[in-house]
Amino acid sequence: MPYQKPIIEKHIYSISEVADMFGVNASLIRFWENEFDNIKPQKNKKGNRLFTKETIEEVRLVYHLVKERGMTLKGAQQKIKENREDAIQEHEVVKQLKSIREMLVEIRNEL
């Protein structure tokens, strides 16, 4: 059996890596950290922010509400506070629909 290189997943990401994931500036991530109670990255002794997968999912939820749905910060804060589960479920549905659309476009292009 040939050697297969193991897939190494990172468990902790820097703020610049998270900002690159979403195509935004690191300053926006820091701003959202101050505005939203659910975004609380860990910090090391130097004060650098360390994002776990759970924290990145919180950033993803805020990004979806503010950037993709066009909600104001106050509206996004209220939505997360009042209907957190609905917001998460809605985000998951949108993510699945986008992946289905990408798959269909790929199939169309192959035809």
Confidence of residue 87 (pLDDT cuts 50, 70, 90): confident
More confident residue, 40 or 85: 40
Q: Domain range holding 100? A: 13-110
Partnered with residue 43 across adjacent β-strands are: 49
In a domain, residue 4? The reply is: no
Q: How confident is the model at residue 25, as a pLDDT?
A: 94
CB atoms < 10 A from the CB of 28, how many? 16
The model's pLDDT over 5-54, given as tens digits with 9 standing for 90+, comes to 666 677 889 999 999 999 999 999 999 999 998 899 999 999 999 999 99
Angle between helices 84-110 and 53-63 (to 10 degrees): 80
In a domain, residue 103? The reply is: yes
Q: What is the largest CA-CA distance in the chain?
A: 56
The structural domain count of the chain equals 1
pTM of the shown model: 0.75
